[in-house]
Structure formats: C-alpha cells, structure tokens
Amino acid sequence: MERDLPNKVNIQQTYDEYRPVFQNILSKIEASLKKSIHISSTPTYKNRIKSFSSYYKKILRQKPKEAAESKTLVTLTDMMGIRVICAFLEDIDLVEKQLEEVYDVKEIERKGSQQSFREFGYESVHVLIAIPEDCKPDDKSVFLPPDLVCEIQIRTILQDAWAEVEHELIYKSEFNPFDKPLRRKLASINASLTLADTIFQEIRDYQNRLVSELGCRRNTFYDKADELTDKELGTSRGNPVPAQSLSSSSNKAGSIDDLVLQALHEHNVGNFTQAVLIYTQILESKPEPPEVVKAVILKHRGMAFFAQNLYDKALSDFQSSESFDPKGFRTIYYEGIVHSVQGNDNEAIECYNRSLSIDPYQSHVYYRRAISYFVLGDYNTAMKDINSAEKLGLNDDDLKALKSKVIKKFDMGM
C-alpha cells in the first residue's frame, strides 16, 4: 500500500496563514512577561516564530502521518518561542518560579543539565506554557489548536551567546564534528563559558552579602547618631532595634574580601572591638589599590569607633578616609555628624556644605545641617534646609519634629 505523503504546498499555505496570528500572540505574551517577571537585573527578551523550513523538517521527523492526514495546522511545542536572557544563574530559578505562579505551565525541560564536561551542547531551561486567554487573538473566529503552546527559554547571557554560536556551527549546518581536537576545542569553549557564569554568580553572591552587611552597618551608625541628636534636642524615641547581621556565621579570615565581610559581620552584631581589629589588620596588609581600599576601610573603622563613643578616633579615621578619597561625600557627611555630636556645630556645617557641594541631592544632609543651624539659633536657615530636605522626599518623624520646633521658635518671636 502506498504511503500518504505530506503535501508541502498545502502545509506551507496553512502555516503562512497562521504566522501573523503567532506574531500577535507572541507580542502579547512578551508584554505579559515584562509585567510578570521581577528580578534585580532586568532581563532581555527575544521572540521568534519557527521558520517554515525548520517547521517542515521537524514535522517530517516527528509527525509525518499527522502532517499527511490533517487538514488543519499541525502543532509543535517550539513553533513560538520567547527567550528570557538573564545576567546571573540565580535569575534562572527566580524566573522559572515566577512563570509557574502566573501561567499554566505544561512542561519544564532543563536542556544540557546532564551533559558531561566533554560535551558542548548548550544549557537552557525550556518552559512550555498554555496560551493565556488575554494573549489570544481578538478575532474569536480564528481557530487555535487546543494543544498550542508557547516555549519560554530561560538562559544567562553567556548561555545564550553559546547557543547562538552552536546553532550556526553545528545545528544549522547539520555538522557534528568527528575530529577529536575540534570537539575538544568546542567542549573547552563551552566549559569556559560555564565557568564564567559560575564565577559571575559567586561575585554576585558576595556583593549581595556585602550589601546586606553594609546596609545593616550604616543603619547602626545612623541609629547611634539619632540617639545622640535626641539628647541634644531634648526629644525621645523608642529604643532602636539592635542591628542583626544577615550572615549566619562569620567568615574565616582569608582574602581582603573575606576579611571585609568578617569585619562587617562583627560590626553588625555589636562586636565593635573585634571589628576594629580586623579593619586594622586590613589596613596593615598593604592592600591594592591602597588609596581605594584604605578610604573604604577607614570609613568603616571610623563608624565602629563612633559606635563605641570614641569620637576623636572616629573623626580621625573619617578625615583620613577623605584624604584618600576627597570626593567621598558620605565620609565628609559622617565627619559632620561627629562634629555635631561633639558640640562643634560650625565645623559640622562646614562638613555638610562640602558634602553637598559634591552631591547636592542628599536629603538627610540638609536635615542634619538644619539641626546644627537650629542649635546655633539660626532658625531661618534651618527652615530653608528643612524645606530642601522635604523637596528631596524626606518626610519622616524626625524632620517633622524639627520643623515643629523651628515653627515654635518663630511663634515665640525667636
């Protein structure tokens, strides 16, 4: 019996009729993804409709009987695809979870995850989703096959780069090299890109831990400054919540990066003496580049001294930090806070002025300068700084309390 053969002309005609429908669906799904996916580094999106040539070859391999008998569109899972290209490996899991929360996920495949280091296929997470109702064509007369899906590919930038090159070198040319040296070269390139992704993620992990520790340490410094300011202005607040480090344990001393994290951890959990010792160890280790590292570490050590009420030592460290980084506007601001705490408000104002000359958009510096002007009895200038802080978005209870005090001075005729 003669086998029924697919009619290529009829299949292409049907496929071409659906192309604008697919493009419309893809555009809607991509817009939906951009609203639904939220990660720290904004991903890049690419969409594509499978070319007819690739589509026809694949249905001949996978669905020849259906292609020969069907009068409607024969579907494949990768006819429509959107690529979500992320910066870091950690983003892949986050995107996958968010897709599962928002869409009707039919299948998840992790391509390349079982490959050995000697192989050179690309890695990628492929998620098949049903077409969301709000992404279907507005024209309800258009028939969509019930099994139609959209393939969402999630990759890092380097995984995507390798996939593009591999597609041109191997898949598209239908060439699979037999020569061992050539295969080794391809495997080596793939391994290098995979290693680079891993290293980028390790650096990202370090940055995340560092940002958490720095944020905690900075809040501790400001809490201490606010507590001392309250005493000076005769105001009060609830007991500040003790700073808690987000690290589960302190790090073993090793590289300067390890020491910095260890020092910040000790600093954040209140072990200020130990933190000072580690900061000093870093400063004595002749770090490279010396100016940059010393400026940062001296600033941290100054904050640890400040937490121990060692204001002269704190001020000395902040001033030394500024000598290595004259544009360090936050360090100069910290100098001003120390001067203010010591009752030297004219010197504090001079520091706040210099900090604002470098970055004029610091709402808290205007607030601190307003406090110093208030202490010195210059209520008009204090109110101007309060207004500047408000314009820049500062609207907390401390600023409101200070503004109320200034207004009372005006009401009393100063």
Alpha-carbon distance of 158 to 81, in angstroms, equals 19
Q: 150 in helix, strand or coil?
A: strand
Q: CB of 175 within 8 A of CB of 183?
A: no
| DSSP-assigned states of every residue in 19-78 | HHHHHHHHHHHHHHHHHH---SSPPEEEEEE--HHHHHHHHHHH-HHHHHH-SSPPP-TT
DSSP secondary structure letter of residue 360: T
Report pLDDT for 176: 57
When pLDDT is averaged across residues 219-248 and rounded to a whole number, the result is 58
Alpha-carbon distance of 150 to 129, in angstroms, equals 5
pLDDT tens per residue, range 9-44 = 999 999 999 999 999 999 999 999 999 999 988 999
Q: Does 49 have pLDDT greater than 50?
A: yes
Q: CB of 364 within 8 A of CB of 394?
A: yes
pTM given for the model: 0.59
Alpha-carbon distance of 298 to 157, in angstroms, equals 37
Q: CB of 338 within 8 A of CB of 364?
A: no
Q: Does 254 have pLDDT greater than 90?
A: no
Kindly report the average pLDDT of the chain as a whole number.
84
Percent of the chain with pLDDT over 90: 55
Report pLDDT for 121: 52
Alpha-carbon distance of 233 to 413, in angstroms, equals 19
Q: 79 in helix, strand or coil?
A: coil
381 contacts: CB under 8 Å, gap ≥ 6: 370, 373
